């Protein structure tokens, strides 16, 4: 695998910082209202942008790893290790999906929405799976927790797709032409 160039690492760092900064501000301002939906949408848009702009494997994984490490040191409603694992899983699956479908399709609105939903599902399944195994849910609430968690995540992913389509169509061509 070819090493990342300084420009690519800078982009990963800026997007990671954007995600971390937004997460912090969201938790302070609307955390009780949004319950992480807005952060999920921002994550999805940033995944699409980083992969489309870099056009190679690893950008999403590195970005989610950096953010995941941040989550280890922050207060979250669940143990931070769970959030970190779920965050990295979403980036890894998105990177793998785009590698399989081809980087030339990274901005294709018919292709990347599936990746966004898959990344959201990876995050949700990882979180819910670990919480279930660790016994966070009472036996009678497991099905309801999974249904609610997956529904929330897929809904947020679909909303993120619409936002990402609008942003990607504008930002990626500018980056490709002038970046």
Mind listing the pLDDT tens digit for each residue in 99-150? 999 988 787 878 889 999 999 999 999 999 999 999 999 999 999 999 999 9
Is the pLDDT confidence value at 7 over 70? yes
Phi, psi of 115 (to 5 degrees): -65, -40
pLDDT computed for residue 177 by the predictor? 59
pLDDT computed for residue 79 by the predictor? 76
Alpha helices in the chain, H assignment, sequence order:
6-29, 31-34, 37-54, 59-72, 80-101, 112-133, 142-178
Mind listing the pLDDT tens digit for each residue in 63-89? 999 999 998 887 766 678 998 999 999
- Rounded distance between C-alpha atoms, residue 91 and residue 11, angstroms: 15
Domains of the chain in start order, with CATH, are 6-174 (1.10.1760.20)
Total-model pTM? 0.88
Residue 109 contacts residue 102 (beta carbons within 8 Å): no
Q: What is the mean pLDDT of the chain?
A: 88
User: 3-class SS at 135?
Assistant: coil
| Sequence-ordered list of residues with C-beta below 8 angstroms from that of 172, at least 6 positions apart, any chain | 49, 52, 53, 107
pLDDT computed for residue 41 by the predictor? 87
């Amino acid at each position: 695998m070819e090493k990342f160039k300084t420009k690519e690492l800078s982009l990963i760092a800026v997007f990671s910082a954007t995600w971390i900064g937004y997460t912090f501000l969201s938790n302070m301002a609307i955390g009780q209202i949004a319950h992480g939906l807005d952060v999920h949408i921002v994550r999805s848009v940033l995944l699409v942008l980083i992969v489309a702009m870099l056009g190679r494997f690893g950008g999403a994984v590195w970005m989610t790893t950096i953010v995941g490490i941040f989550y280890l040191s922050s207060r979250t409603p669940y143990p931070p290790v769970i959030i970190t694992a779920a965050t990295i899983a979403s980036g890894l699956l998105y990177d793998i999906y785009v590698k399989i479908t081809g980087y030339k399709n990274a901005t294709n609105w018919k292709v990347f929405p599936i990746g966004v939903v898959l990344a959201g599902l990876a995050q949700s399944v990882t979180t819910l799976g670990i919480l279930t195994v660790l016994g966070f849910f009472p036996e009678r609430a497991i099905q309801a927790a999974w249904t609610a968690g997956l529904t929330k995540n897929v809904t947020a992913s679909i909303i993120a797709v619409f936002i990402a389509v609008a942003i990607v169509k504008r930002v990626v061509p500018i980056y490709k032409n002038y970046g």
